[in-house]
Structure 1
Amino acid sequence: MHVVQVQAAVRHLVEYVYRSGSIESGYRSTSSLIEGTKAHQNIQRQYGEEDRKEVYLSAEIPLDEGLSLLMDGRCDGLLRRDGVLVIEEIKSTARELSELEEMSYPVHWAQAKCYAYMIGLSHPSERLQVMLTYVHVETGEQRRFVQDTEFRDLERFVLELAARYAPYARLLVSHQRKRDASIAQLEFPFEGYRAGQRKLAGAVYRTIEEGKKLFAKAPTGIGKTISTTFPAVKAIGNGLLQRIFYLTAKTIARTVAEEAFGRMMARGLHLHTVTLTAKEKICFQETVSCNKEDCPYADGYYDRINEAILDTLSQETLLTRPVIERYARKHRVCPFEMSLDLAYAADAVICDYNYVFDPRISLKRQYGEQKKMTALLIDEAHNLVDRGREMFSAAVRKSDYLALQRAYKAADPSLSRAAKDVNDHLLAVRKRLGDEPQVDQELPSELTERLEAFIVQAEKHLAASGPDEGTAQLLDTYYGAQAFLRVVKLYDERYVTYTETNRNDVTVKLFCLDPSYLLQQAGKGYRAHIYFSATLTPGGYYRDMLGAEAEDYTLSLPTPFAKEQLTVRMEPLSTRYQDRERTREPLARLLLSLVQERPGNYLFFFPSYAYMNDVYAVFEAAKEEADLQREVTSLLQTNEMSEAEREQFLSAFDAENETTLAAFAVMGGIFSEGIDLVGDRLTGVVVVGVGLPQLGLERNVIRDYFSAIGKNGYDYAYVYPGMNKVLQAGGRLIRSESDRGILVLVDDRYFQPKYRQLLPEEWRERI
């Protein structure tokens, strides 16, 4: 009889069965001063010549007819002491070791016993001991608990563990059979392929098959989402993949991905797809507080989550935010933590970039073997360059430490003094620099030492006191210090340290200039990477910045739309900063004449809020002067718009509008990417300027870095990121085969070959 094997890492297996109790508070000790891995290594260095460390073990355990469990993992230490085989499991902790009791953490004993069982399989007559070693992350102090055991007891324990895991294993196997059968029958979920779609889908499948990276420039209208998800799903059915991550930067793109998977499910696909939503958005409480005292969904979470997972996965496939919220309420569990637990069981995960690339947030329970069978589909990949810089940079501010120094002066003098040491150092830096910023390539070693000392005191306070009035502020500062020290370990020639003063505050930032290497490292181990965007231009720049290797593929597809659908005009008005006051009135009159010539709905994109507001005021005055208030309705994007205000802004683009709509927005903002105003909802788009980022310290150090390594630093820092905003804004206009419209590019630089060649071919042809 054919036996189906379910694989589970030991850690996942024991956590599934033995985790219990509540979600702890927002604090997790992740000490940067002495990390858990260092604690492990310090103990393992003391091993003798015959002792072994990080021993890979695996064993197959029958569950029932036709089903078995393959568990595997790495044992921290396999030692021989006085003729006894000792299996050591090492755990680092910030808790005082005197507080620990032998059975404080049953899950740790369960993990150690699984390794002992697997050792016992090949050493059935040996005497065995299980040793649990706790090491304090600050002091390095150790405490050991030892249990003598016999193989038959270990076998009984593991068989009981496997039996408790069996319902989940059976669900996974049943799902996998349905999934693979459904994929085999699945056809492309549209009547036919659009121009370019088959080519993109074929390139995606081949890239997954060969385990490479693909950089695909795929214009609006090709249907990038279905053209990447469909071949990836087929790759799961053919055994090339076990999982897909669909990574996005914006909420709207997640919705599009959900619709693509939903369309395939409507054609018979059976696939578990989970969408991850930020904790702040999905939390049921008015104030996010992950303490059992404050949140009934955190209280007893681990006592209820297994039943919740089984119920959800057995009933649902497309696990969107509303679905997750419904089951979380039903089982009274935290919807955010539940979504993470579901993600580890899912076939496809739709989430933000940071769950894969950000070292602070990434899904930690992904194991190497799982990564080898996972493909990353990276939507709007042009956004990952600046997001990568952000993920791998970190900063500390003086004001945060001054606030903590004052807040804990009486409550915790040691913590207050540690915060004061950081504040005093930054105060001395401010006095030394005055108002002049400083940029160098040296790590601030004295600041680093003081932050390490602060972290020690913060961890002591958080571990001992529990939540108090200042916990949120302390946690934010603590995690900021942790992030800073984490970046210290990444710091190399691709970084600078810059210090800025602002009134009484000081900010020291470790700034990642070139994220390509770290993005490459964070993505290491995944089977394939598919980077796609309508604006992945110029290709060489994005290959550089996203960590391409020589053998990786590039694909550029033409627009699927007819030439007659788009008219492009260029207007030679200067929008340079020094010329804006002079050209403000001609620009406003140009916009007004455009909407008079051809009534409809228009989006006017500007490079900044200040510039937009200035032109808007002149436009409104010109509109009043021409007595067009009734014929032309104006809208203005504001900073910090709520979701309701955004929806109201977009709902104004109605094909049935009786008046002309002139909507003012900013390039690179919420309305310049990821929105679809199809048909007559949008008549024209005007892009004012070439999108260059504002001149500033960060952009200038990026420029200088790339110039020094032989690239065109100004283009890398300013021109390419700016023109990407132009392409995204202009791309709002033609979204379907039925769209028609006019695109106006306002800036005399568009007449220069350098800028003209960065425009899409279909724009250049239609000018």
Structure 2
Amino acid sequence: MSNTVETIKISVRNLVEFIMRSGDLDNRTGGRKEAEAMQEGSRIHRKIQKQMGSNYTAEVPLSITLDISLEEISFQLVVEGRADGILKEESEIVIDEIKGMYIDLSYLEEPISVHRAQAMCYAYIYAQQNSLESIGICMTYCNLDTEEKKYFKETIVFTELSAWFEKLTGEYIKWAYWQIKWNHKRNDSIKELEFPFTYRDGQKKLVSDVYVTLLRSKRLFIEAPTGVGKTISTVFPAIKAMGEGLGQKLFYLTAKTITRTVAEETKQLLTEKGLLLKAVTITAKDKICIFDKADCNPVSCPRAKGHFDRVNDAVYDMLVSEDDISREKLLHYAEKHQVCPFEMSLDTTTWSDMIICDYNYVFDPNVYLKRFFQNDKKNDYIILIDEAHNLVDRAREMYSAQLYKEEFLQVKRLIKGKDKALEKALDTCNSDLLKLKRECDDLKEWENISDFVIHLMHLMSKYEDFLAEHKEFDGKEEVLLTYMNIRHFINIYDVYNEKYITYTDYNEQGDFRIKLLCLDPSDNLSVRLDKVRSAVFFSATFLPIRYYKEQLGGREEDYAVYAPSPFQMENRLVAVGMDVSTKYTRRNEKEYLKIIQYIKDFTDSRQGNYMVFFPSYQMLFQVEELSKGILDNVIVQGTSMTEEEKETFLNDFSLNPDISRIAFCVMGGVFSEGIDLKHDRLIGAVIVGAGLPMVSGEKELFRKYYQETKNSGFEYAYLYQGMNKVLQSAGRVIRTTEDKGAILLLEERFLDNRYQELFPREWFPYQVVKKDEIKEVMLKFWQSHGL
């Protein structure tokens, strides 16, 4: 073990919040999130600080270094932070801690313990460094809506303060010691780690490209066809970089549960090769909760009672006992210590080397892991983003916000007679929306809604007061949901810029809504990406790469690479049916019968499993009805399948099937992405149509915006999204280097240059066919492989 003295730094705030947290998990209050209070609070801080006079010094940096020796390890613990203010009075020095809050201060009878503890930490550091026998602390609370203030002052003798601080840091030292010891163990295992496979063509270069990206703190965009081994080719160099001090923590982000499993399996494979790495997967609260419904409060859940009193012990017990953190082990230790498994998993991320989770936990403004991304400073984090083409639409959705007029009326009905001030605030906002509704026949854009937003902010203040007084009442869930929607709307309005538009319209049920629509999410994504060392985006369908690079926050200096396909060209047949169209004007029985004949000739050429992908359920069902008596053994994707139904559906795709099976599926659906039917579990796919989204009012807003800004309205609003669905669907066919399969594209538009520019390299050369030619083409292909 190395004897070099290492340094662990922790902020005053993080130290006290970690060690001193206690009490229950409780979701029964809406409480505007602390991040918002911090954001608005910085303005209040400055205002209060300016009012304090010449004896007051604002924003004073304070730091203390403790020399620690435990067993064979010596290290320095640096506790640092910035005191809001130091007041030099005649009789004493006073440390001022300012907190902006949204709650009514009359409810506050004493300072909140973690806030007082922050002030005490600064007081100890200042008193110790200035040899003071005693020092004052003042908690200054300010209501962010009314600017009303409340003060809690006291004087503490240094001996008492010193004993308190020694106890506080002593609690943390065991965690710091464990962290250093584990990092040595982990890094030693990483040094010995070798790539677990023989490199495929181009794979070694891909691994090198990822490593160089991390070394240079850049962002990398990889288009890597199926079979390249994207997961191992990104995870392996990222872990090697961590071992060399180029990354403190690794985030592996996915859009779907199935790709999370691939990341877990890759990590497990490296574990079997000798890697020691603590990785935790964040499972959604409703999926990991021990009850049928997650309701996190001490009345509904026994584990919520005193959760924060026990959770640190639970996490520490697991960390020191287990080298590999699986979901089962997480559940075991959560049960052992009677804590919430979801909250425990979040706390485990603080000490994990690798975090596998949904995009939301890094990018979503409502649920992101604030412990890692809340501060302004840049961290040595590495982010790997799988199936990153999904992030464009997901990000647009995350950074958009909408409110329905009916929500305000529903809340008013539910709280009727309980709070006059809240009812009045709801009425005001409803009246605002009524005025907008009167001017909106179908869809209308708006330049200025500032009056409505001001009224929403006033409503939030009244909402806070109501929720502080009423913990339980009928309709609580609906009232809280609207509260969250309003808060999100205000938050999005705060980041609103020229890449947004505001519009009103009606949903299918005729409900009136107002929406802040994010047209380009790159600025919002960059806010998070700028806080990490490096990000690697990868997908099998990343065309055109400039579009994805632009939408996902790529910069001029960032890299984009294409990983060549490892498949032999002759193992894949790509054919384009030139005499088929799925344009709306051509959707009729005659065209559908032509499609059915294509499917029949394509699937009759060899016994096996096939998938046919349609642009919509409507077309799928129409073609299925017409195919009865023509096609045999057709199975159909349902509109809302359970997990068990999906599994049964895929299990029908067996190896060496005794009959041909044709599955009718939807492009962009659950079976068009992320499923892995290797070898002859799937030997052919028919793609019906170009996958273009339905024309809608919102899509037309995208088209208009990108026509004005990029002169590419159709491409940005429709073409790129449609072709991505096509490429993903086609990607189900050949999964390993031994696979052989055929892809039939039924749409004359695929011969248009705009579409062909989006074909991946490995699709060339392709064959152009007519309905009466496909049978012969298919027979020749299979015969060339002796099948």
Q: TM-score range by the shorter chain?
A: over 0.9
Matches within 5 A, 1:453-602: 453-502=458-507, 504-572=510-578, 573-581=580-588, 582-602=590-610
Matches within 5 A, 1:261-340: 261-340=267-346
Q: Do the aligned partners of 1:84 and 1:126 also contact (CA within 8 Å) in 2? A: no
Q: Which residue of 1 aligns with 2:714?
A: 714
Aligned mates of 1:704, 1:329 — CA distance in 2: 54
Q: Do the aligned partners of 2:30 and 2:483 also contact (CA within 8 Å) in 1? A: no
Aligned mates of 1:349, 1:407 — CA distance in 2: 41
Deviation at 1:594, TM superposition (A): 1.9
Q: What is the identity, as a one-letter code, of the residue corresponding to 2:752?
A: Q
Aligned mates of 2:435, 2:85 — CA distance in 1: 48
Counterpart check, 1:176 vs 2:176: no
Q: Which residue of 1 aligns with 2:215?
A: 209
For residues 397-445 of structure 1, the C-alpha deviation after alignment (integer angstroms, 9 at most, x for no partner) is: 01111111111112333323322332233233323323x21123x1322
Q: Which residue of 1 aligns with 2:29?
A: 27
For residues 50-82 of structure 1, the C-alpha deviation after alignment (integer angstroms, 9 at most, x for no partner) is: 633333332222343324422222322233233
Cα 1:570–1:456, aligned 2, differ >3 Å: closer, same or farther? Answer: same
Matches within 5 A, 1:150-161: 150-161=157-168
Q: Do the aligned partners of 1:61 and 1:159 also contact (CA within 8 Å) in 2? A: no
Cα 1:703–1:52, aligned 2, differ >3 Å: closer, same or farther? Answer: farther
Cα 1:635–1:41, aligned 2, differ >3 Å: closer, same or farther? Answer: farther
Q: What is the identity, as a one-letter code, of the residue corresponding to 2:230?
A: K
SS in 2 for 1:88: strand
Deviation at 1:371, TM superposition (A): 4.4
RMSD between aligned residues:
2.0
Q: Which residue of 1 aligns with 2:784?
A: none
Q: Do the aligned partners of 1:406 and 1:416 also contact (CA within 8 Å) in 2? A: no
* 1:240 aligns with one of 223, 246, 257: 246
Q: Which residue of 2 aligns with 1:682?
A: 682
TM-score for the superposition, normalised by structure 1? 0.95
Counterpart check, 1:110 vs 2:117: yes
Count residues with an aligned counterpart. 755
SS in 1 for 2:581: coil
Matches within 5 A, 1:216-231: 216-231=222-237
Q: What is the identity, as a one-letter code, of the residue corresponding to 1:110?
A: A
Cα 1:727–1:522, aligned 2, differ >3 Å: closer, same or farther? Answer: same
Q: Which residue of 2 aligns with 1:734?
A: 734
Deviation at 1:531, TM superposition (A): 1.0
For residues 454-486 of structure 1, the C-alpha deviation after alignment (integer angstroms, 9 at most, x for no partner) is: 212221111111132211101110010011111
Counterpart check, 1:123 vs 2:127: no
Matches within 5 A, 1:643-658: 643-658=643-658
Q: What is the identity, as a one-letter code, of the residue corresponding to 1:279?
A: K
Q: What is the identity, as a one-letter code, of the residue corresponding to 2:342?
A: F
Q: Which residue of 1 aligns with 2:705?
A: 705
SS in 1 for 2:226: coil
Cα 1:423–1:638, aligned 2, differ >3 Å: closer, same or farther? Answer: farther
Q: Which residue of 2 aligns with 1:8?
A: 10
Deviation at 1:162, TM superposition (A): 1.4
Show structure 2 runs of 5+ residues with no match: 768-787
Q: Which residue of 2 aligns with 1:392?
A: 399
Q: What is the identity, as a one-letter code, of the residue corresponding to 1:595?
A: T
Q: What is the identity, as a one-letter code, of the residue corresponding to 2:743?
A: L
Aligned mates of 1:699, 1:512 — CA distance in 2: 12
Deviation at 1:101, TM superposition (A): 3.1
* 2:356 aligns with one of 341, 350, 355: 350
SS in 2 for 1:587: helix
Q: Do the aligned partners of 1:63 and 1:162 also contact (CA within 8 Å) in 2? A: no
Q: Which residue of 2 aligns with 1:626?
A: none
Matches within 5 A, 1:67-78: 67-78=75-86
Deviation at 1:140, TM superposition (A): 1.7
Q: What is the identity, as a one-letter code, of the residue corresponding to 1:12?
A: N
Counterpart check, 1:361 vs 2:363: no
Q: Which residue of 2 aligns with 1:629?
A: none
Aligned mates of 1:713, 1:530 — CA distance in 2: 28
SS in 2 for 1:189: coil
Aligned mates of 1:614, 1:41 — CA distance in 2: 65
Matches within 5 A, 1:56-71: 56-65=61-70, 66-71=74-79
Aligned mates of 2:141, 2:213 — CA distance in 1: 45
For residues 620-659 of structure 1, the C-alpha deviation after alignment (integer angstroms, 9 at most, x for no partner) is: 3433xxxxxxxx3222112222211111111111114322
Aligned mates of 2:232, 2:82 — CA distance in 1: 39
Aligned mates of 2:542, 2:25 — CA distance in 1: 42
Q: What is the identity, as a one-letter code, of the residue corresponding to 2:398?
A: M
Q: Which residue of 1 aligns with 2:778?
A: none
SS in 1 for 2:389: helix
For residues 578-637 of structure 1, the C-alpha deviation after alignment (integer angstroms, 9 at most, x for no partner) is: 2111411211222122222222111111111111111121123433xxxxxxxx322211
Deviation at 1:374, TM superposition (A): 0.4
SS in 2 for 1:448: helix
Cα 1:56–1:686, aligned 2, differ >3 Å: closer, same or farther? Answer: farther
Q: What is the identity, as a one-letter code, of the residue corresponding to 1:91?
A: K
Aligned mates of 1:504, 1:616 — CA distance in 2: 32
Q: Do the aligned partners of 1:566 and 1:766 also contact (CA within 8 Å) in 2? A: no
Q: Do the aligned partners of 1:655 and 1:679 also contact (CA within 8 Å) in 2? A: yes
Q: What is the identity, as a one-letter code, of the residue corresponding to 1:591?
A: I
Counterpart check, 1:433 vs 2:440: yes
SS in 2 for 1:559: coil
Deviation at 1:6, TM superposition (A): 2.8
SS in 2 for 1:765: coil
Deviation at 1:29, TM superposition (A): 1.9
* More divergent stretch after superposition (73-82 vs 511-520): 73-82
For residues 680-699 of structure 1, the C-alpha deviation after alignment (integer angstroms, 9 at most, x for no partner) is: 11111111111111111121
Q: Which residue of 1 aligns with 2:456?
A: 451
Aligned mates of 1:608, 1:326 — CA distance in 2: 44
Q: Do the aligned partners of 2:225 and 2:564 also contact (CA within 8 Å) in 1? A: yes
Cα 1:317–1:709, aligned 2, differ >3 Å: closer, same or farther? Answer: same
TM-score for the superposition, normalised by structure 2? 0.92
Q: Which residue of 1 aligns with 2:696?
A: 696
SS in 1 for 2:596: helix
Q: What is the identity, as a one-letter code, of the residue corresponding to 1:136?
A: N
Matches within 5 A, 1:603-682: 603-623=611-631, 632-682=632-682
Deviation at 1:504, TM superposition (A): 4.8
Deviation at 1:236, TM superposition (A): 1.0
User: Kindly, what percent of the aligned residue pairs are identical?
Assistant: 41
Aligned mates of 1:28, 1:39 — CA distance in 2: 22
Deviation at 1:85, TM superposition (A): 2.6
Q: Do the aligned partners of 1:756 and 1:764 also contact (CA within 8 Å) in 2? A: no
Cα 1:353–1:575, aligned 2, differ >3 Å: closer, same or farther? Answer: same
Aligned mates of 2:623, 2:46 — CA distance in 1: 62
For residues 5-56 of structure 1, the C-alpha deviation after alignment (integer angstroms, 9 at most, x for no partner) is: 3332222221222111111225342276993333333323324356333333
Cα 1:604–1:44, aligned 2, differ >3 Å: closer, same or farther? Answer: farther
Aligned mates of 1:70, 1:391 — CA distance in 2: 37
Show structure 1 runs of 5+ residues with no match: 624-631
Q: What is the identity, as a one-letter code, of the residue corresponding to 2:651?
A: S
Q: What is the identity, as a one-letter code, of the residue corresponding to 2:484?
A: Y
Aligned mates of 2:629, 2:162 — CA distance in 1: 84
Aligned mates of 2:141, 2:560 — CA distance in 1: 50
Q: What is the identity, as a one-letter code, of the residue corresponding to 1:490?
A: V
Aligned mates of 1:26, 1:744 — CA distance in 2: 55
Deviation at 1:126, TM superposition (A): 7.5
Deviation at 1:736, TM superposition (A): 0.7
